[in-house]
Copies of this chain bind each other. A is one copy, B any other.
Amino acid sequence: MTAEDEDRADAWFHALSDRTRRDILRRVLAGEHSVSALARSYDMSFAAVQKHVAVLERAGLLTKRRQGREALASGDVEAVRSVGAMLTDLEALWRGRISRMDELFAEQHDTSPDTRHDPTTHRTD
């Protein structure tokens, strides 16, 4: 099911790649806003803002709730956390690179590898 994960990641990062959408997400994370209330904040048509909201909704970064004639949008912090988790995974790959560099150093300079420091607690920055 890695294919669907990549689809979700595509949608997440694409949704976040537009500054208007990031601004909308900030607002709806801070509190519910109707689509037209959001639209009033930007120098573009209502339809344009509505499309941005739809992109964020399809990506799962916000949800809409119908109340009378208004559609109230609310940010989904869990989705934001999931995006952050992807980046943490990327960092982990980098930490693995450092560990391998340590191993290489140990092999080249140390025939008794037991005396090396613990690579899992290695300072990296």
Contact residues of A between 41 and 76, Cβ < 8 Å to B: 75
Tell me which residues across on chain B come within 8 A of A13, comparing CB atoms.
13-14, 16-17, 22
DSSP class of A's interface residues: helix, strand, loop or mixed? helix
Interface presence of A30 (CB below 8 A) = yes
What size tier do the contact residues of chain A reach? Answer: 20 to 34
Residue with the greatest number of chain B CB neighbours at <10 A, chosen from A6, A16, A19, A75: A16
Give residues 77-109 of A contacting B (CB, 8 Å): 77-78, 80-81, 83-84, 87-88, 90-91, 93-94, 96-97, 100
CA–CA, A29 to B87, complex, Å?
A: 11
Number of copies of this chain that the complex holds: 2
Tell whether A80 pairs with B91 under 8 Å between CB atoms, given A9-B22, A10-B18, A19-B9: yes
CB-CB contacts of A8-39 with B at 8 A, as 1s and 0s?
01100110111100100110011100000000
A114 within 8 A of B: no
User: For the complex, what is the distance from the CA of A10 to the CA of B21, rounded to whole Å?
Assistant: 11
